[in-house]
Amino acid sequence: MKKQLLITSLITITILSIGLFIFYPSVRKNDDYRLRIVCTTTMVADAVRSLCDDDVQVISLMGPGVDPHLYRPKEGDVHRLLAADVVVYQGLHLEGKMSHALESMRAYTNVIQATKSVDRSLLLASEFDNLYDPHIWHEVTLWQEVVRYLADQLSSLDPVYHEVYQKNKQRYLEGLTLLDHDLREQINTIDEQDRILVTAHDAFAYYGRAYGIKVFGLQGLSTESDIGIKDVQNMANYIVNSRIRAIFLETSIAPKSMHALEQAVANKGWHVIVGPALYSDALGAADDVSGTYVGMMRYNTHAIVRTICDAQQK
Ligand SMILES: [Zn+2]
């Protein structure tokens, strides 16, 4: 009798679970439910926002100017992650200090790794064994693949809104195709021998590959690596020998190292302009033109072109 009762209970629970699943096929709990998507970086949050309508709350754990390589989750972040319906992170070890914590969130909620579907043969190697260069958003066509994947993942988690995600995806991808074309045209206005970008760390390798500009970072791919006097001297020699006239700061890295480079170059009798800070690893403030991915890419390219062209004329 007891055994029968147990079986009946199990069947009831199973039927109820199936019933709940059928009744609530979406990650949304009901029609009026406001979905909460928690993202790690500002770039990922912007991609998700571009795919969702206003009834979705998209939160970025990292704010403008925050360095994702060094970011450690705060107590409030853990609460936000646990309260999320969906967690989205970039992956490729960009969120170095958070990677394990993010993967372990799968036990509690839906987790999407935004770069999961990107063809690995298109990725650049990093200085670390078995890891790729994570700065893929600087090559628009790679970021388009991320947008496609995110839209499809959100569609399958929230199928009631499938058409919304697909429609937004289509519109946003068209805008990115136009952006990709414009960036290439702008870089092409720099004289070919002057298309050299020197920045604080190696964030722009994809950008360089996509838009035809040589790139050099004073620091490695991750800001966790140290910069030695030798690195500064080697870069200073390269700048003098290549007659480079402009170097660039980055918004998420302290300017100290680039000013040391400027001084090292000056000690060798050459002069470089320290150009404006580029948005390498985070978007700008929400109320600024650089507060969206598209705005940030346009701002960076405009700053690079204007600064290099002006410096060459001096
Ligand atoms: Zn970086």
Looking at residue 209, what is its pLDDT?
98
Ligand 1 centre distance from Cα of residue 268 (Å): 29
Ligand 1 centre distance from Cα of residue 115 (Å): 16
Task: Check if the beta carbon of residue 148 is closer than 8 Å to that of residue 262.
Answer: no
Q: 128, 151, 178: which is the final residue of a domain?
A: 178
In a domain, residue 121? The reply is yes
Q: 133, 157, 178: which is the final residue of a domain?
A: 178
Q: What is the CATH number of the domain that holds 85?
A: 3.40.50.1980
Ligand 1 centre distance from Cα of residue 153 (Å): 26
Ligand 1 centre distance from Cα of residue 127 (Å): 13
Ligand 1 centre distance from Cα of residue 28 (Å): 34
Looking at residue 253, what is its pLDDT?
87
Mean pLDDT, rounded, for 153-178: 97
Looking at residue 19, what is its pLDDT?
40
Ligand 1 centre distance from Cα of residue 250 (Å): 10
207 and 122 share one domain: no
125 and 165 share one domain: yes
170 and 188 share one domain: no
Cβ neighbours of 276 (radius 10 Å): 15
159 and 66 share one domain: yes
In a domain, residue 193? The reply is yes
Domain with 48 in it: 35-178
Looking at residue 101, what is its pLDDT?
86
Ligand 1 centre distance from Cα of residue 136 (Å): 10
Sign of CA dihedral 196, 211, 221, 74: positive
| Residue 8's pLDDT band (cuts 50, 70, 90) | very low
In a domain, residue 123? The reply is yes
Q: Please state, for a pLDDT cut of 90, what percent of the chain lies above it.
A: 75
In a domain, residue 229? The reply is yes
Ligand 1 centre distance from Cα of residue 304 (Å): 18
Length of the chain: 314
213 and 294 share one domain: yes
pLDDT, greater one: 6 or 199: 199
Ligand 1 centre distance from Cα of residue 9 (Å): 54
Ligand 1 centre distance from Cα of residue 29 (Å): 37
Looking at residue 25, what is its pLDDT?
56
Mean pLDDT, rounded, for 140-160: 97
Q: What's the CA dihedral at 42, 44, 45, 49 to 10 degrees?
A: 130
225 and 258 share one domain: yes
Q: 178, 195, 210: which is the final residue of a domain?
A: 178
In a domain, residue 4? The reply is no
217 and 130 share one domain: no
In this predicted structure, the answer to whether residue 16 has a pLDDT above a threshold of 50 is no
In this predicted structure, the answer to whether residue 248 has a pLDDT above a threshold of 50 is yes
Q: Which of 190-194, 220-224, 252-256 has the highest mean pLDDT?
A: 190-194
141 and 229 share one domain: no
Number of compact structural domains in the chain: 2
> pLDDT of 28-49, one tens digit each?
878 789 999 999 999 999 999 9
Q: What is the mean pLDDT of the chain?
A: 90
In a domain, residue 238? The reply is yes
192 and 261 share one domain: yes
Ligand 1 centre distance from Cα of residue 199 (Å): 11
Looking at residue 229, what is its pLDDT?
83
In a domain, residue 48? The reply is yes
Contacts of 123 (CB under 8 A, 6+ apart): 92, 132, 133, 136
Ligand 1 centre distance from Cα of residue 70 (Å): 10
Ligand 1 centre distance from Cα of residue 69 (Å): 6
232 and 104 share one domain: no
Ligand 1 centre distance from Cα of residue 15 (Å): 49
146 and 53 share one domain: yes
In a domain, residue 118? The reply is yes
Tokens found for residue 106: 């799968």
Looking at residue 2, what is its pLDDT?
53
172 and 209 share one domain: no
Mean pLDDT, rounded, for 78-94: 95
Ligand 1 centre distance from Cα of residue 157 (Å): 30
